Amino acid sequence: MKRQTLFYLFFAWEIVIAQAVNASQAINAFINELNLPADSAKGIQTKLFRNVRVIEPVLSGQSIASSEVVKLACDIAQIVLGFSAVNTTPVNQTETDGTWSEVCWETPTCAILPNSDQQVSLAMKIINFFQTKFAVRSGGHSPNPGWSSVGQPGILIDLQLLHEIVVSSDASMVSLGPGNRWGDVYSALAPYQVSVIGGRINDVGVGGLIIGGGYFHLSGEYGLAADNVKNFHLVLANGAIVDANANQNSDLFWALKGGGPNFGIVTRFDMYTIPVYNTWFKVLVYTPNQAPDVLDAFAQWQENGASDSKSTVAMVISLDSIEVGLLYSEHASQPAAFAPFYDLTPAKVAIPGTNGTILEVVELFGNTGSTAAERHDYRSASSKVNAELYKDVYSFWLEQANSIYNQTGANQTFVLQPVPISLVDFGNSRGGNALGLPRENMQWWTTLIDWVDAADDDLVRGVSIATTAQWQSLSEAQGASVNFTYMNDASRDQNPLSSYGLSNVAQLKKIAAKYDPSKVFQRLQNGGFLLSNA
């Protein structure tokens, strides 16, 4: 044999030995980290050594798990977490129940349903060791395919069993598991005569909503949900369980306030409650041909009435009607803030001016929207307050949305969410958040879209895509542009994080690199608004 060949063979043999040694080192280190009783540790060790060839490619951390590796990871998860916590035969129905939009229905290799932060930590260690693709789900209300769902090979971490709601003795704080739905949260708080800034629709999940910001009816007065978090309890990529608040990991605290699924899995949100129980509300219905008047009144209220931060207006324009909810955060009688609406004659007074509770408000407003098993999407665009702009974009949208409705039966809404300066100021008073909001009186437009046939996906989504383009070009032309894209309403092809501003994005990336140095959330997470794409 030539010297070179000999050298080569020797070199190759060295590598094999080195890998075998490192594999055993890695396996033992992994098992030690899991802190298991001796017999299950032994069982796992035997299983992993028997499968060492299968897992070798992922041990360097460079290669993502194959189907075979993910299956093995799921088997190991069953031993580590218990058979009841890991479903290795998830069927479609599970997925149907789990995510709001049919667009997201996928069947993972296994679904892990942790019942504690420790179990989430173990799950992260398993995902990390095997380098498996994964997705995290709280309420499953993101309609973006792959955000909170994953197909094969992949592991779903479904947080639905983390649904604690613990109210402090003076009711000033509430600790929420991410797997709660907002309707249950408001019901649990009502006996204490307090509330919390969360979602407006009862089925929406706690986890996803807060990490994206979290807009509620009372956000003008009390900021975003994220601004009301005192402490995030979370599991980092390496399985470490940490708290993030103003004193501990304060950089991470800031990043989690709107920075999305880039830093860890939040297993508990310790939130300030808000001292709102009594409210006044009125619900009016207008016809589509009254839209210009209603939009004028809405802009007038934003310019004047909204300076009374106890007042807010919830307006949902659909193809055949316009619903307007006037809401005041204490008992009242025809609050002056809503004057522009008192001049209009609605087609119907659905609910006359009523003194009621915040729980009645969320029960009344929170059960709208489609709960049918069908395809959905949403989309986001923002602007300054400008009635002409509102009317121009609305008529553009209406024509298109009607035409697509005629072709496909798709329902779409046109929603202006008022964002007064007081919302931005409230966030700053709580130490600031990652959103980089301009100190402007704004609106955050969104739309909810429901349709049935997958063949219509592009046609239907095309309406909202064209409408966001229209917001952009018309708002620029009228000097009313705000380049902010609200994550919780952003569709799969939008890039909300990049709208937080260059310095915030740089800061977020730095924080992600600090708390997730091996980029587990960027590389292995199946979808989501990831900093690696911002």
Ligand X SMILES: *[C@@H]1O[C@H](CO)[C@@H](O)[C@H](O)[C@H]1NC(C)=O
Ligand Y SMILES: Cc1cc2nc3c(=O)[nH]c(=O)nc-3n(C[C@H](O)[C@H](O)[C@H](O)COP(=O)(O)OP(=O)(O)OC[C@H]3O[C@@H](n4cnc5c(N)ncnc54)[C@H](O)[C@@H]3O)c2cc1C
Could you give the angle at the alpha carbon of 216 between the alpha carbons of 252 and 95, nearest 5°? 75
Strands 155-158 and 134-137: parallel
Among the listed ranges 210-218, 283-291, 408-416, 525-533, the one in contact with ligand X (CB under 6 A) is 408-416
Residues 288-347 that bind ligand Y (CB under 6 A): none
Q: How far apart are CA 253 and CA 239, in angstroms?
A: 18
Taking Cα atoms as reference points, which of 205, 185, 213, 212 lies closest to residue 98? 205
For residue 259, state whether it binds ligand Y (rule: CB under 6 A).
Answer: no
Q: How far is the CB of 531 from ligand Y (least distance, A)?
A: 13
- With a CB cutoff of 8 Å and minimum separation 6, the contacts of 406 are none
Q: 138 touches which of ligand Y, ligand X, none (CB within 5 to 8 A by kind)?
A: ligand Y
Is 441 a binding residue for ligand X by CB under 6 A? The answer is no
Q: Which of 115, 123, 198 is nearest to 164 (CA)?
A: 115
- Interface residue with ligand Y among 115, 128, 148, 499 (CB under 6 A) is 148
The answer to whether residues 145 and 103 touch, using CB atoms and an 8 Å cutoff, is yes
**Residue choice 178, 223, 325, 346 for contact with ligand Y (CB under 6 A):** 178
Cβ(226)–Cβ(256) below 8 Å: yes
Q: Write phi, then psi, for 456 (nearest 5 degrees).
A: -95, 0
Q: Which is nearer to ligand Y, 101 or 475 (CB)?
A: 101
Spatial distance between the Cα atoms of 405 and 279, rounded to a whole number of angstroms: 37
Q: Which is nearer to ligand Y, 300 or 522 (CB)?
A: 522
Q: Using the rule CB under 6 A, give the single segment among 27-35, 129-137, 370-378, 488-496 that binds ligand X.
A: 370-378
Q: Scan residues 90-119 and list those touching ligand Y (CB under 6 A).
A: 100
Task: Kindly indicate which of the ranges 8-16, 195-203, 297-305, 382-390 contains the residues binding ligand Y, using the contact rule CB under 6 A.
Answer: 195-203
Nearest to ligand Y of 31, 423 (CB atom): 423
Check residue 209 for interaction with ligand Y (CB under 6 A): yes
Among 114, 154, 207, 496, binds ligand Y (CB under 6 A): 207
Binder of ligand Y out of 212, 220, 259, 436 (CB under 6 A): 212
Q: Which among ligand X, ligand Y, none contacts residue 402 (Cβ within 5 to 8 A by kind)?
A: ligand X
Looking only at the bridges linking them, the beta strands covering 322-328 and 375-384 are: unpaired
User: Which of 44, 332, 362, 389 forms a contact with ligand X (CB under 6 A)?
Assistant: 332
Q: Is 118 in the site for ligand X (CB under 6 A)?
A: no
Rounded Cα gap, residues 353 and 334, in angstroms: 7
**Shortest reach from residue 395's CB to ligand X, in Å:** 12
Element (H, E) at 25: helix 3-34
Which residue of 1, 15, 455, 502 would you call a contact of ligand X, by CB under 6 A?
A: 15
346 binds, among ligand X, ligand Y, none (CB under 5 to 8 A by kind): none
What x-and-dash track marks residues 88-107 binding ligand X by CB under 6 A? ---xx---------------
Count residues binding ligand X (CB under 6 A): 27
| Strand ranges, E, within 43-88 | 86-87
Identify the CA nearest to 60 among candidates 527, 532, 517, 518: 518
Are 180 and 159 in contact by the 8 Å Cβ rule? The answer is no
Reported as half-sphere exposure (CB side, CA atoms, 13 A), residue 520 has a value of: 26
Q: Is residue 403 involved in binding ligand X (CB under 6 A)?
A: yes
Q: From 8-16, 56-64, 206-214, 453-461, give the range in contact with ligand Y by CB under 6 A.
A: 206-214
Among 90, 108, 114, 139, binds ligand Y (CB under 6 A): 139
Binding partner of 355, given ligand X, ligand Y, none, CB within 5-8 angstroms per partner class: ligand X
Closest separation between CB of residue 127 and ligand X, Å? Answer: 21
Rounded Cα–Cα distance for residues 209 and 226 (Å): 9
Q: Strands 278-286, 322-328: parallel, antiparallel or unpaired by DSSP?
A: antiparallel
- How much of the chain is helix, strand and coil, in % rounded to 5? 45, 20, 35
Contacts of 490 by beta carbon, 8 Å cutoff, 6+ apart: 378, 379, 380, 496, 529
Q: Is 265 in the site for ligand Y (CB under 6 A)?
A: yes
**Cα-to-chain-centroid distance, residue 78:** 28
**Which does residue 452 bind out of ligand X, ligand Y, none, counting CB within 5 to 8 angstroms by kind?**
ligand X
| Residue of 180, 119, 100 lying closest to 370 (CA atoms) | 100
Which residue is associated with the tokens 């009621």? 356
According to the binding rule CB under 6 A, does residue 520 interact with ligand Y?
no
Smallest separation (angstroms) from ligand Y to the CB of 519: 16
Cβ proximity to ligand X: between 185 and 482 the closer is 482
Contact 164, 207 (CB under 8 A): no
Which helix (H) or strand (E) element contains residue 174?
strand 173-176
- Does the footprint of ligand X cover residue 498 (CB under 6 A)? no
Q: Which residue ranges make up the site for ligand X (CB under 6 A)? A: 15, 18-19, 22, 91-92, 331-333, 355, 370, 372, 374, 399, 402-403, 406, 409-411, 450-452, 476, 481-483
Which residues form the interface with ligand Y (CB under 6 A)?
A: 100, 135-142, 147-148, 159, 178, 199-201, 204-205, 207-209, 211-215, 261, 265-266, 369, 448, 488, 528
